[in-house]
């Protein structure tokens, strides 16, 4: 009897953990979308909203970390439940880092807004569109526990790498041709690198979904592990110029309040929640 009660409590905590991760994923996805929109529209208001909303992401990361620590300290998860918790730790970290890169893009948008000669290379909206689609698909694959959907995310990452290399080359060439636009080109290169990093972290999330649902790791199973770190290749170029338990689908696309709404105004120093998994 006591064991049954403990098991029910444990699975409620796993469900809560999954809900919190979905909530965080929705905030992060909205942050990425706004950061990209702020660049394309040269909208400083949207860029400011991205920077403000990142505080909510940081608070959710701490809340989720605390929930995971409690689960590991008070329970003894095994099999699929343990895989879910391991995946949750990594996804939580990747989502927070994606939000940080969205902030970087928003900061570049603010810089571009102050330039009279700012322009956007055609490849950047293309990169942004692919990256947004990858992130949405990765989050949905986690919600639905769908490894086939996660696998599709992995196939898109090479497109982003190719586009980033193309943007970097164009940025370097433009710097050489016109010294007056160097500041603009630097910000465009920064935007491209951050989009590539978001795509790489999104790929990590998809790999974690595959790990949880199929009990196999994709982290070092492809040639992608042999690629140079994206920051390294881009920076060098610039420097040359000088779980089985399903939640109801209400959680699939959580509608969140606008930045500043009290519901998510969580202090940055404490917090963390939990959510769900399944049995092996």
3-12 tens-digit pLDDT? 677 777 788 8
278 φ/ψ sector (left φ>0, alpha ψ -120 to 50, else beta): beta
pLDDT-wise least confident of 109-113, 173-177, 187-191: 173-177
Backbone angles phi, psi at 250, to 5 degrees: -60, -25
Measured between its terminal Cα atoms, the distance across the chain in Å is: 22
**22 pLDDT exceeds 80?**
yes
Model confidence at 175, pLDDT cuts 50, 70, 90, reads: confident
The DSSP code for 275 is B
For the segment 53-72, the average pLDDT, to the nearest whole number, is 94
pLDDT at 239: 44
Neighbour count for residue 182 (Cβ, 10 Å): 15
The DSSP code for 117 is T
**261 pLDDT exceeds 70?**
no
pLDDT at 121: 81
Neighbour count for residue 4 (Cβ, 10 Å): 8
For the segment 247-273, the average pLDDT, to the nearest whole number, is 40
Half-sphere CA count of 103, side-chain side, radius 13 A: 15
Predicted confidence (pLDDT) per residue in 128-160, tens digit: 999 999 999 999 999 999 999 999 999 999 999
CA dihedral of 13, 16, 21, 23, whole degrees rounded to 10: -170
The DSSP code for 245 is S
Q: Going by C-beta distance under 8 Å and a sequence separation of 6 or more, which residues neighbour residue 122?
A: none
- Listing DSSP states for 34-59 in one string gives HHHHHHHHT-HHHHHHHHHHHHHHHH
Q: Residue 56 has which token pair?
A: 């909510």
**Residues 3, 17: Cα–Cα separation, whole Å:** 21
- Give this prediction's pTM: 0.76
**Residues 17, 145: Cα–Cα separation, whole Å:** 14
**Residues 137, 151: Cα–Cα separation, whole Å:** 10
Model confidence at 221, pLDDT cuts 50, 70, 90, reads: low
pLDDT at 4: 76
Residue given tokens 């042999």 in the structure block:
226
Structural domains of the chain sorted by starting position, each given as residue range(s) with its CATH number in brackets: 8-241 (1.20.58.220)
Model confidence at 219, pLDDT cuts 50, 70, 90, reads: low
Helix axes 79-113, 2-41, angle to 10 degrees: 20
Model confidence at 216, pLDDT cuts 50, 70, 90, reads: confident
Q: Which residue has the higher pLDDT, 105 or 228?
A: 105
Q: Residue 97 has which token pair?
A: 């880092």
pLDDT at 236: 46
**52 pLDDT exceeds 80?**
yes
């Amino acid at each position: 009897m006591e064991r049954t009660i403990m098991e029910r409590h444990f699975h409620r905590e796993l469900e809560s953990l999954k809900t919190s991760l979905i909530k965080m994923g929705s905030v992060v996805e909205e942050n990425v979308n706004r950061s990209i929109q702020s660049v394309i529209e040269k909208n400083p208001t949207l860029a400011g909203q991205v920077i403000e909303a990142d505080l909510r992401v940081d608070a959710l990361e701490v809340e989720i970390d605390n929930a995971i620590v409690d689960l590991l300290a008070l329970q003894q998860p095994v099999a699929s439940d343990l895989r879910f918790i391991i995946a949750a730790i990594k996804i939580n970290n990747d989502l927070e880092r994606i939000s940080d890169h969205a902030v970087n893009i928003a900061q570049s948008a603010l810089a571009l807004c102050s330039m009279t000669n700012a322009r956007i290379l055609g490849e950047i909206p293309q990169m942004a569109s692919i990256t947004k689609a990858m992130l949405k698909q990765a989050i949905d694959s986690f919600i639905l526990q769908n490894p086939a959907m996660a696998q599709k995310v992995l196939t898109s990452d090479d497109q982003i790498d190719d586009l980033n290399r193309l943007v970097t080359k164009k940025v370097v060439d433009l710097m050489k041709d016109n010294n007056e636009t160097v500041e603009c080109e630097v910000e465009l290169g920064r935007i491209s690198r951050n989009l590539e990093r978001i795509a790489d972290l999104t790929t990590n999330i998809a790999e974690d979904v595959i790990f949880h649902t199929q009990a196999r790791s994709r982290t070092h199973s492809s040639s992608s592990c042999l690629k140079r770190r994206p920051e390294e290749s881009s920076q060098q170029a610039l420097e040359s110029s000088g779980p089985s338990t399903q939640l109801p689908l209400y959680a699939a696309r959580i509608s969140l309040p606008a930045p500043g709404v009290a519901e998510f105004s969580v202090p940055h120093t404490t917090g963390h929640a939990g959510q769900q998994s399944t049995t092996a």
